[in-house]
Structure 1
């Protein structure tokens, strides 16, 4: 079917990488002038707009690249993530029996909304609020003073593990290489009214993360990336304690997450072009590079890198919006469900386009409209990217 071919193309099923690049520029590939100019225009326009809804030069938070914050700030972020992992889950256990800690609360919310907030009109807005909620939890519950940094993929596209994101004091590297469990994988997406299967590419690992603060880090919910749907545990809500796994797919970085593609994304002349450039060459490939838990469509927040990954997606959107805040802040495209496919709970509902007035669900009774997640400097948020 046509939808299957679209998803399969996005997944780049034929790409296989079993060797790890080990050399390269540790400071990264220099930022091109064209990207700098687009970024500078965004920053200038955001600063010129401050003063709305209590967001000022004094109160605005600055999100930076993980590679540009100092060692103490990186260590404090890791500490705060582990602090949330040590706090008990608050989600109703009748809804998610496997939820153990506060990180699982976020994973549950993501699982519960996956087929509505991916490849849809709410994707960017929903995830902007979701990442902000994690930032607030880190600050308010665990004493973290900073923001959620972003994973600056283009800077290290040719040698991705040279980024400090993957060093032993940050998030660690690939999973253990498993000769019989590194892919490719055939998986079936649960919760849709049609039977949709896609292929995950083979990678360079497959097993438990072996180094850094998240070596053998225990997760519980999921996976949903399985060849067949289990009707007794369709979305992976049941307890399943196991280690965090990765399966790096290097072509996803070297061939896609480049400065050239970053410029195409933020320099797009219209929102539809921006959205599909971002989705096909960046969002999917970012998850695909991580593999295993970080690639699982539903439970990808199990990998703590998820929030840096989505801070970067949010940054690309912010830079695009910031070229003309008046015309672009509330631009929208897309259906109300994943590719417009009906959910299995409402199989006869025809596809329909999302609007900025649509209600989203971000858990714990919080139901903002899509338009509430579109601005960066009002509607309860106050931040920008440098």
Structure 2
């Protein structure tokens, strides 16, 4: 049995709270088992996998007889940016701009450069960066972080929508600057930066005996030219900003006040190589254990592949897009990590019992276990500091319809 693009488009077009009932009787046995190298077929595979995850979510919530908690009646549906109406897109970016105007909650003694509620989130990511990448909390921490940002938009800035996601494959296929999310219009997340001459490629790694990884630069590099964030100030960082020609720009610990424009360097070659439909489908279908899933997504150091996670970050480029620590300083970060979360959501629901429990966690509390630290467990606490709260355990973050969450994806 084969799911078609028309089915996926029908799902995307739906506006009800619950995920639309699939027009097929698909089961796990009908799903693809390996990613197609053909991009069009890989897109069909992804539509089929997402539909199965949606069907599983519906069935899980329909079987839940509890009166409180998540249900089909209060389920939020996260959608891809291009499927939103123009008023919905503007409502989202207006709320982001609102968050950038609200005063920070973080004391200046903790993060001197945090001037807004938006900066609270950036500063928290900087502070915890060495514990939330290549660690056991990577996926769940960013799930909670992105959801908490969404709640701030809703509760503090009157946003009535949900967190949209950026589908790298579809935008890369048409060219980033031609996609609805990055075309620079008033209904986008702003687009490319002003073109500036480059002094060479981006060179990652090369330390500790690992071969360097060379990435091309993009079509911009300067301050964003248009769209909602054309006058935005990036206040924190950089901590380790990759520069054309090699090397990094560093501003101490990144927590001091360092206002500058938002820069982008949209790079089609990166998104098409590392975050295309085949790469996404491979990340979902090939790894059977969460350790392999996480490493495939982030890229195994020394492998020459930065994974779909790195592909999105380095495709947006610029400052702070190429700075792992400060990357939430670009509002596009949250649409990127919503897509990361969507991929995890699909992967989890291919084996819901195993992948949303203790066996769905692997890793320690530090970056590649350096320095050595305790294994992450269901009882490990996630604390977003002054950005959001309250602290929660990993146990609360393993499902998008348990703990504090009640959302799914189309």
TM-score of the superposed pair, with normalisation by structure 2: 0.78
Contact persistence 2:321–2:327 (CA under 8 A): yes
Q: Which moved further from structure 2: 166-175 or 236-245?
A: 166-175
- The answer on 1:270 being equivalent to 2:289 is yes
Counterpart of 2:195 in structure 1 is 177
Distance 2:114 2:214 in 1: 26
Deviation at 1:371, TM superposition (A): 2.1
Q: Could you report, residue by residue, the CA deviation over 1:266-306 in whole angstroms, capped at 9, with x for unpaired residues?
A: 22333233222222220011101111212211110110000
**Which residue number in structure 2 is paired with residue 285 of structure 1?**
311
Give the whole-Å Cα distance in 2 for the aligned partners of 1:188 and 1:62.
42
Equivalent residues, number: 346
Q: Pick one of 91, 100, 104 that aligns with 1:89.
A: 104
Matched, 1:251 2:290: no
Alignment of 1:24-173 (within 5 A): 32-50=43-61, 51=64, 54-158=69-173, 159-167=175-183, 168-169=185-186, 170-173=188-191
Aligned to 1:375: 399
Q: Does 1:340 align with 2:369?
A: yes
- Helix, strand or coil at the partner of 2:217: coil
C-alpha change, 1:222 and 1:363, in structure 2 (3 Å) is same
Deviation at 1:157, TM superposition (A): 2.4
Q: Does structure 2 retain, via aligned residues, the 8 Å contact 1:182–1:247?
A: no
Write the distance in 1 (CA, Å) between the matches of 2:211 and 2:336: 25
Deviation sequence 1:211-247 (CA, Å, 0-9, x none): 11111311111111255786xx532111111100112
Residue 22 of structure 1: aligned partner:
none
Q: Does 1:363 align with 2:385?
A: yes
Q: Write the distance in 1 (CA, Å) between the matches of 2:101 and 2:352.
A: 40
- Counterpart in the other structure of 1:213: 228
Instruction: Please say if residues 29 and 155 of structure 1, whose CA atoms lie closer than 8 Å, have aligned partners that are also in contact.
Output: no
- Work out the CA distance in 1 between the residues paired with 2:222 and 2:200: 8
- 1:123 is displaced (CA, Å) by 0.4
Could you tell me whether the CA contact under 8 Å between 2:95 and 2:157 is conserved in 1? yes
What's the secondary structure of 1:157's corresponding residue?
helix
Residue in 2 aligned with 1:234? 252
User: Secondary structure at the residue paired with 1:155?
Assistant: helix
Counterpart position of 2:15: none
The Cα of 1:201 is off from its aligned counterpart by: 3.7
Contact (CA 8 Å) 2:177, 2:266: kept in 1 or not? no
Match among 328, 338, 341 for residue 301 of structure 1 = 328
Shift of 1:164: 0.8
Asked whether the 8 Å contact 1:64–1:385 carries over to 2, the reply is: yes
Unpaired runs of at least 5, structure 2 = 1-38, 242-246, 300-306
Deviation of 1:54 after TM superposition, in Å, equals: 1.3
What whole-Å deviation, never above 9, does each CA across 1:70-98 have from its counterpart, x for those lacking one?
11100100110001111111101111111
What SS is found at the alignment partner of 1:207?
A: strand
Q: Is residue 104–residue 118 contact of structure 2 (8 Å, CA) maintained in 1?
A: yes
Match of 2:25 in 1: none
Q: Which has the higher contact order (CA 8 A, sep 6+)?
A: 1
CA distance 1:174–1:229, change in 2 (3 Å): closer
Residues 238 and 249 in structure 2, CA contact (< 8 A), matched pair in contact too: no
Structure 1's 276 and 196: CA in aligned 2 closer, same or farther, altered over 3 A? closer
Write the mapping of 1:318-333 to structure 2, written as runs, cut at 5 A. Answer: 318-330=345-357, 331-333=360-362
Q: CA, structure 1 residues 185+222, in 2 after alignment: closer, same or farther (shift >3 Å)?
A: farther
Give the match for residue 11 of structure 2.
none
Cα deviation, 1:111-142, whole Å, max 9, x if unaligned, reads 11100000111000000000110110000011
Matches within 5 A, 1:305-320: 305-320=332-347
| Closer/same/farther in 2, CA of residues 134 and 200 from structure 1, 3 Å limit | farther
User: Per-residue deviation at 1:29?
Assistant: 6.2
**Cα distance in structure 1, aligned partners of 2:113 and 2:227:** 25
Distance change in 2, residues 1:373/1:181 (3 Å):
farther
